[in-house]
Amino acid sequence: MLNAVVIDDESKVRETLKQMLSIYCPNINVIGEADGVESGHRIITTQNPDVVFLDMQMNDGNGFDLLNKFSPINFQLIIVTAYQEYAIKAFKFSAVDYLLKPIDPSDLISAIEKISASYNQTETKSKFDALLSNSINHESTSKKLVLKTINGIHVVDTDTIIRCESHNNTTEFIFKDNAPVRVSRTLKEFEDLLADCGFIRCHQSHLVNQKYIVKVMRFPTPTIRMTDNSEIPVAIRKKDLLKGIEEKR
């Protein structure tokens, strides 16, 4: 049995979530609710719940304002949000789970299953540290990216990634200083995420950080040389990208 609190400024939304939890997640016991940042902070400190369902946009502030009051975060968090583009991007960077309103019962069940299966305090802490740092610098091009592997999680600065390479459905990250990391997510997901951080998809299997391009070669085939001395092929239909890169340099 896990004790949970629900924080959302709209009573109807709290009601729906409580009803869904009682139907689909019998192992969750809702012990309290709150309608804002202040009351949410109070209820978490007094009730000490295992799980917090948190709405991102509330009347007296947003979910990040509330999370910032806790250090370290010693509860499991499930973010529930209607819509907020930059926030959703921040969740993806930090590999934090979130639910979209109206909530799909199967999404709710799988989010609860994930929580019940594993609770690793250090991992949770690093994910939220990354999330908060990204939420503060949500306009900066350098972000903290959380990579989940079988051995645990890695929090990396997007600025230190030289390039990403896809192998089947996994993606390998090559860094400036650290050993490569391989995660079981597709390159496409990272292409979308890293587009604003100066990364370009020059080839079906390659995503490169423009910052680390050393040289652009056109002959015999279009190729980019990176600072790690790798030579990355450029797809014929992406040749126009090279012009853009050369002009910027």
Partner 1 sequence: MVVPTIQLSVISILLAALLIICIVTIAILYIKYKAVQRRNLQIEQQLLLSQMNPHFVFNSLTAIQSYIFRNEAHLASKYLASFAKLIRLILENSRIELNSLEREVTTLKHYLELQALRFEGRFEHKIEVDEQVDIDNVQIPPMLAQPFIENAIEHGFIHISEKGMLNIRFLAENKNCLVIEVEDNGIGIEKSRQLQMEKGKGHRSLATEITQERIRKIKCSKGINIEMSIIDIGTIDITRHGTLVKFKIPV
Query: Which residue type, as a one-letter code, is found at position 104?
Result: D
Q: Which of residues 29-68 bind partner 1 (CB under 8 A)?
A: 57, 59-61
CB atoms within 10 A of CB 4: 27
Smallest separation (angstroms) from partner 1 to the CB of 35: 10
86 lines the binding site for partner 1 (CB under 8 A): no
Strand pairing report for 57-58 and 28-34: unpaired
Q: Within 10 A of 183 (CB to CB), how many other CB atoms are there?
A: 20
The 98-137 contact track toward partner 1, x by CB under 8 A, reads --xxxx----------------------------------
Q: How many residues does the chain have?
A: 249
Nearest CA-CA partner of 208 in 217, 223, 184, 139: 223
Distance from C-alpha of 149 to C-alpha of 112, rounded to nearest angstrom: 21
- Quote the least distance from Cβ 141 to partner 1, whole Å: 22
Return the range that interacts with partner 1 (CB under 8 A); candidates 18-26, 68-76, 137-145, 238-246: 18-26
> 3-state secondary structure string, 117-130?
HCCCHHHHHHHHHH
Is 15 a binding residue for partner 1 by CB under 8 A? The answer is: yes
**7, 13, 90, 207: which one binds partner 1 (CB under 8 A):** 13
Nearest approach, Cβ of 6 to partner 1 (angstroms)?
A: 12
Q: How far is the CB of 171 from partner 1 (least distance, A)?
A: 31
